Amino acid sequence: MPEILSHIGNLDLLKRPKTAFLCSSKTTSRDILKSFDWATSVPKDSCIISGFQTKLEKDVLQLLLKRHIPIIIVLARKMYKELPVEMQSAINSDEALVLSLSHLPRNSKQSARVRNKYIINIADKVVFGALDTSSSLANLTKDAEGIGSCTISKRNNQS
């Protein structure tokens, strides 16, 4: 498991049950609608973990932030020099945590793979908003059975 190199925000969120939200870059309009429906129906006491890197993940992040759903953002690059305003507001409200697993100034395919593995490993449940079987994301888990939105329930242990 990679080491957390830096963080900003509420570390107690790591102790909570976590749902990973991950998407391939290639999405369909159906993926988008299902992901938006999912994000608007997430219970308020949830904690969502993701890299929030793809377009769809970023759009879902905005919905989660507006609903004040606690989030953990895992970066595949070094820590932000300055947080976006909406993220800073969530940090100030103890509703967010930003983790960095890399010293790289930008994401790389390898650092994104490490980040996604980390997210899947510490999550209690994994939700794929969009899953393209030819993507590197699909290769990360044997549990990924199908294309499009799917949910995979995982173990109940905490990291």
- Which tens digit of pLDDT belongs to each residue from 67-121? 999 999 999 888 888 888 888 999 999 999 999 988 888 888 888 888 998 998 8
Lowest mean pLDDT among 35-49, 73-87, 93-107, 139-153: 139-153
How high is the pLDDT of residue 159?
34
Question: CA angle, corner 68, sides to 63 and 71, nearest 5?
Answer: 80
Q: How far is CA 120 from CA 86, 94, 133, in A?
A: 25, 23, 17
How high is the pLDDT of residue 42?
95
How high is the pLDDT of residue 139?
73
Question: Stretch 32-42: mean pLDDT, rounded?
Answer: 94
Question: Stretch 127-138: mean pLDDT, rounded?
Answer: 82
CB 77: neighbour CB atoms within 10 A?
19
Lowest mean pLDDT among 2-6, 127-131, 141-145, 155-159: 155-159
How high is the pLDDT of residue 146?
35
B/e letters for 137-155, b = 16+ CB within 10 Å, e = fewer, are bbebbeebeebebbeeebe
Instruction: Bin 21: left if φ > 0, else alpha if -120 < ψ < 50, else beta.
Output: beta
Interacting residues of 2 by C-beta distance below 8 A, sequence separation 6+: 101, 114, 118
How high is the pLDDT of residue 55?
94
- Mean of the per-residue pLDDT values for the chain? 85
Q: What are the structural domains, with CATH classification, of the chain?
A: 6-153 (3.40.50.450)
Closest CA to 68 of 91, 50, 49: 91
